[in-house]
Amino acid sequence: MELNVPRGIDDVDPERFEAQARVRAAFESVARAYNFQLMEPASLEHLSILRAKSGTAVDQEIYSFKDKGGRDIGLRFDMTVGITRYVCSRKDLRLPAKLAASGGIWRYDEPQYGRYRWSNQWDLEVFGPPSVEADAEVIDAGAAILRRLGLTETVIKVGDRRVVEEFIRKQLNISEDARVVELMRALDKVEKKSPSELKEEYVAKGFDERQVDRLLEFGKLRGTPDAVLGRLSELSLSTMKELGTLGDLLDSRNLKNVEYNMSIVRGIDYYTGIVFEAADVRNPRLGSLFGGGRYDALPKMFGRPDLSATGAAGGIERTAMSLARGTSAPRKLVYVAIPGESTLGAALKAASALREQGISADVPLVLKPLSKQMEDASKMGASWVMIVGERELKSKAVTLRDMNSRKEELLSLEDAIGRIEKA
């Protein structure tokens, strides 16, 4: 039987993999530097858990099914829900608990540019007493990940849901919760729709023109922390205090690419305080490289009203896409050529010695003429060819050919390894 083979759903091929591996390595090293504990929450969750964040609306966006025991389960769509469930059940953890995870997430929606049905996220979360220091910690760590990847032209946009809500209630005189939420949703659309579109849409929903105008004006409030804080104090919004503290903390942490931006509200039914999003200035079309904020409601749903929570999650594919090509260090690959059967054993020993030193070495797995082997070496991008033939065997040496300079030298194996390591 021969199958009609459908294409794979989102294979990560070697070129994409290497870029993603760089993002993962940067994430792990930053997580360790900031003393987050790395873990991984379950990939499959009970559906009731996945619904905790935004209710049954989530069903349309996830892979869920009945397992063979009749239980409703689904694939995780982020890491936050699972980590929060985990932390809430581990009453023995010291607080604040700083946890980090990276891995696959699954969303059943139409693939967007830079967004796959199966993709990978990194995640940093802090649970404990409410503290704006914790928000500063996750924003700082997220920024450090991008910096470590050489992504310097980025901006971290910061807002606060409480400030937006106070503005809507106090300045626009809207008191009904559902109406407040509707206007917050309008702010979330500021970067996607034109002011006139939004105005038309919200006037049709029964808001008066002046309310919508003032809201859109408010949504345009963006700039340095000091500049935005100045404008907020003119509006006498008492909830701006935490943004003030956060600005000082981020400044102490040497974070300069921070923009306060009142249109940042993020997932409406989820976040409860400071929210943020990081973008690549050169490529805004990619969407956020990471985002997050405070979400005190979720631990409460998992039975832990004593825990406050804040965190950041970043897209590994998106971030990999924004890495400049060719910025990774070139690999040192040695191709060990084998002129004939008689020196196969010696050549394999040489390859083993290279590999034990952590040097990438390839050997022909099918013997072929030396000229063909040289071609293979060149095609796979080897920096050196090490030839182990009869002549070399007799002089207890190897020939090392530098593929750039095309120079060859007869050296002892140890000297050849030293040469490669130094290069």
Residue 325's CB is within 10 A of a number of other CB atoms, namely: 7
Nearer residue to a second copy within complex by CB, 13 or 234: 13
Q: Verify binding: residue 48, a second copy, rule CB under 8 A.
A: yes
| Residue the block writes with tokens 């007493």 | 129
Task: Say how far apart CA 104 and CA 293 lie, in whole Å.
Answer: 21
Given candidates 185, 205, 282, 331, which one binds a second copy under the rule CB under 8 A? 331
Q: Largest Cα–Cα distance of the chain, in whole Å?
A: 93
- Least Å distance between CB 32 and a second copy? 5
Compute the C-alpha angle 241/243/247, nearest 5°.
120
Q: How far is CA 404 from the centre of its chain?
A: 36
Task: Say how far apart CA 59 and CA 54 lie, in whole Å.
Answer: 10
Q: Verify binding: residue 33, a second copy, rule CB under 8 A.
A: yes
Nearer residue to a second copy within complex by CB, 18 or 201: 18
| Coil, helix or strand at residue 277 | strand
Q: Verify binding: residue 68, a second copy, rule CB under 8 A.
A: yes
Q: Verify binding: residue 378, a second copy, rule CB under 8 A.
A: no
Q: Verify binding: residue 360, a second copy, rule CB under 8 A.
A: yes
| Residue the block writes with tokens 């904020």 | 293
Span from 216-224, 248-256, 314-322, 390-398 in contact with a second copy (CB under 8 A): 248-256
Residues 156-185 close enough to bind a second copy by CB under 8 A: none
| Residue the block writes with tokens 């099918």 | 366
Q: Verify binding: residue 115, a second copy, rule CB under 8 A.
A: no
Q: Verify binding: residue 414, a second copy, rule CB under 8 A.
A: no
151 contacts 319 by C-beta, under 8 angstroms: yes
- Taking alpha carbons only, the member of 299, 301, 314 closest to residue 93 is 299
- Least Å distance between CB 18 and a second copy? 7
Q: Kindly report each contact of residues 226-234 with a partner whose C-beta sits within 8 Å and lies 24 or more positions away, as own/partner.
A: 227/260, 228/260, 228/261, 228/262, 229/260, 232/163
Task: Write down the H helix ranges in 220-280.
Answer: 225-234, 241-252
Nearer residue to a second copy within complex by CB, 5 or 204: 5
Given candidates 197, 208, 248, 269, which one binds a second copy under the rule CB under 8 A? 248
Distance (Å) of CA 259 to CA 101, 135, 225, 230, 423: 27, 15, 6, 14, 43
109 contacts 61 by C-beta, under 8 angstroms: yes
Span from 272-280, 284-292, 364-372, 391-399 in contact with a second copy (CB under 8 A): 364-372
Structure tokens at 280: 């690549």
Residues 338-357 close enough to bind a second copy by CB under 8 A: 344-346, 348-349, 351-352, 354-356
- What backbone torsions phi and psi does residue 53 show, to the nearest 5 degrees? -75, -45
Site string for a second copy, 281-310 (x = CB under 8 A): -------------------xxxx-------
Residues 253-272 close enough to bind a second copy by CB under 8 A: 253-254
- Least Å distance between CB 125 and a second copy? 12
- Least Å distance between CB 387 and a second copy? 17
Distance (Å) of CA 404 to CA 85, 116, 375: 55, 39, 14
Q: Verify binding: residue 321, a second copy, rule CB under 8 A.
A: no
Nearer residue to a second copy within complex by CB, 126 or 274: 126
Given candidates 77, 86, 207, 276, which one binds a second copy under the rule CB under 8 A? 86
Span from 175-183, 205-213, 275-283, 372-380 in contact with a second copy (CB under 8 A): 372-380
Span from 1-9, 183-191, 235-243, 313-321 in contact with a second copy (CB under 8 A): 1-9
Q: Verify binding: residue 391, a second copy, rule CB under 8 A.
A: no
